[in-house]
Structure 1
């Protein structure tokens, strides 16, 4: 089965252009994703990791997946190990195909293994994506509420889950005044 993936992104052409190219490439199913959200990423990941041998994924470019180079290597390695072909359509309907061949699989396996062994590439002190450059990841009101919860016996983990930050970020925000 041929799956096409269309995504909205500043680095990609408009979705209508992507869809026209994928329709021209005779996709059986075209998945159109809006702006990238965590839920949309999970849905797409479930689909991509559930493909069967002989399936083919068509995309305008690798930007559609919105993953790091290492994550792309792991995804493509999974495709090739399962027997799924990846075709990058670009600006022409015939595109470039990446089929499960031994040398490609070996290179991608090495890259994916290397990436999985690497520690996080987040620079020290950068915090999570919720930090956005501010000193505290939580607002003043969230910090006050987190302190109250901590004094009442809530764990840093449960407070972190409530505010969607790590326990370390909770501790950094409430600190000694808990």
Structure 2
């Protein structure tokens, strides 16, 4: 059976183009992810790890699997061991990774490393220090900027904090607005 995987991503051509390339390569079943979520990713990987001998997987590129390099090495090793062929349709010609011969040693080492490494939480794009406090001078300046109409985002960019963190600091730790944060301190909302 030939399975085609179509992904919605700004890095790939539109799904209709991916589908056309995969179908022209002779695909039996097209798996198209309409709303990318962690559960659809899990379901796809579950299906891929369940493929049998002589099955084929057709994708635009390896990035269509949306997994880490280590996880990709484990998947490719599984394809070799299960005699599953992988075809990449996104280049100038269809590239095939056939399970003939020995598994490349580098692939085995990468897959073993991914299997043996301790489970880690996914890395964040930017390390964030919790409870970053602004100095009194910075806080006064941030409140002044807010009074002048600057957005929380622009203030946050200045101090390298998220907009919600800036809002929390301007309003005070307990979430209530401090008298300094009011645009006009003498005016209060009626209960």
User: If the length of structure 1 is used for normalisation, what is the TM-score?
Assistant: 0.65
* 1:135 equivalent in structure 2: 130
Deviation at 1:108, TM superposition (A): 1.6
Shift of 1:76: 0.6
Corresponding residue number in structure 2 for 1:46: 46
Q: 1:110 to 1:101 in 2, by over 3 A?
A: farther
Q: Answer whether contact 1:3 1:57 (CA < 8 A) is retained.
A: yes
Deviation at 1:48, TM superposition (A): 0.3
Deviation digits for residues 32-74 of structure 1, max 9, x if unmatched? 0124211101110111011010000000001110001000000
RMSD, aligned α-carbons: 2.6
2:99 and 2:2 mapped to 1: Cα distance?
16
1:69 pairs with 2:69: yes
- SS of aligned partner of 1:31: strand
Could you say which residue in structure 2 is the equivalent of 1:99?
98
How far residue 86 of structure 1 moved from its aligned partner, in angstroms, is 0.5
The runs of 5 or more residues in structure 1 that have no matched partner are 137-178
Which whole-Å CA distance do the structure 2 matches of 1:107 and 1:56 have between them?
A: 22
Cα distance in structure 1, aligned partners of 2:71 and 2:81: 15
Structure 1: which 4+ aligned runs deviate by more than 6 Å? none
Q: For residues 101 and 108 of structure 1, do their structure 2 counterparts lie closer, same or farther at Cα, with a shift above 3 Å needed?
A: farther
- TM-score, length-scaled by structure 2: 0.61
- Structure with a larger share of its residues in helix: 1
Task: Give the CA deviation at 1:77.
Answer: 0.4
Q: Which has the higher contact order (CA 8 A, sep 6+)?
A: 1
Alpha carbons 1:9, 1:35 under 8 Å: kept:
no
Q: Secondary structure at the match of 1:67?
A: coil
Equivalent residue, structure 2, for 1:13? 13
SS of the residue aligned with 2:16? helix
- In 1: Cα distance, 2:97 partner to 2:36 partner: 25
| Deviation of the 1:132 alpha carbon | 8.4
CA distance in 1, matches of 2:109, 2:127: 33
Unaligned runs of 5+ in 2: 132-191
Matched residue of 1:102: which SS?
Answer: coil
Distance 1:82 1:60 in 2: 21
Cα drift, residue 117 of structure 1 = 2.5
Q: Distance in 1 between matches of 2:81 and 2:35?
A: 29
